[in-house]
């Protein structure tokens, strides 16, 4: 027997069937929130969890995530985003104090074009040390002032959402 199903119904079914060996959605970070897979948690509150990155760029590289699943920066509610930023700041201050970090990079990747690989919003808190091997992924150079002004106009013309 063959059953025809609409794309909308298929999407709904896929969302309902997102079950893996962790017994929940296939989101790795949701599994960490649920405690079904291990993580080196360094801080948590009612809205966020901060844990060590298992592929650290430098010593002390941590990730801050909201407890509630949000796919990316476009999706996260403002209250959870604010909580994540606050937790990232606290993690940065502790890295400076306890690890002797000379600086901190905060990094969020939103969508594959921006290198997002785990689709649960997260902020990388990357302690920086004088002489570490990390480099900017672009070469800063002056832009075309007219293009910059035109782009600014597009960005200020309306608000999103």
CB-CB contact of 92 with 69 (8 Å)? no
Residue with tokens 């900017």: 136
Q: What are phi and psi of 66, to 5 degrees?
A: -80, 145
Nearest in space to 132 (alpha carbons), one of 66, 58, 72? 58
The angle formed by the CA atoms of residues 43, 47 and 48, to the nearest 5 degrees, is 35
Residue with tokens 């901190």: 104
111-130 pLDDT, tens digit per residue, is 999 999 999 999 999 999 99
pLDDT at 16 (0 to 100): 41
pLDDT grade for 19, boundaries at 50, 70 and 90: very low
CA distances (Å), origin 22, targets 14, 54, 96, 160 = 17, 19, 35, 36
DSSP conformation class of 7: H
* H or E stretch covering 88: helix 78-99
- Higher pLDDT, residue 104 or 22: 104
Mean pLDDT along residues 63-75:
98
- Higher pLDDT, residue 74 or 5: 74
pLDDT grade for 161, boundaries at 50, 70 and 90: low
Nearest in space to 127 (alpha carbons), one of 87, 88, 83? 88
**3-state class of 112 per DSSP?**
helix
Its pTM stands at 0.81
Domains of the chain by start residue, with CATH: 20-134 (3.30.428.10)
pLDDT grade for 18, boundaries at 50, 70 and 90: very low
69 as an active site residue: the answer is no
CB-CB contact of 53 with 63 (8 Å)? yes
Query: Which listed residue (61, 69, 120, 122) is catalytic?
Result: 122
């Amino acid at each position: 027997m063959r059953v025809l199903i609409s794309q909308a119904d298929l999407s709904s079914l896929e969302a309902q069937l997102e079950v893996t060996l962790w017994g929940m959605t296939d989101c790795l970070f949701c599994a960490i929130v649920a405690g079904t897979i291990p993580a080196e948690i360094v801080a948590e509150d009612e809205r966020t969890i901060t844990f060590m990155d298992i592929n650290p760029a430098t010593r002390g590289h941590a990730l801050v995530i909201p407890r509630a699943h949000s796919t990316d920066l476009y999706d996260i509610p403002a209250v959870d985003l604010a909580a994540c930023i606050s937790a990232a700041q606290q993690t940065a201050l502790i890295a400076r104090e306890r690890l002797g970090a000379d600086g901190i990079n905060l990094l969020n990747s939103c969508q594959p074009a921006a290198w997002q690989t785990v689709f649960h919003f997260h902020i990388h808190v990357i302690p920086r040390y004088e002489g570490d091997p990390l480099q900017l992924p672009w070469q800063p150079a002056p832009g075309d002032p007219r293009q910059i002004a035109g782009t600014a106009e597009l960005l200020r013309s309306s608000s999103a959402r």
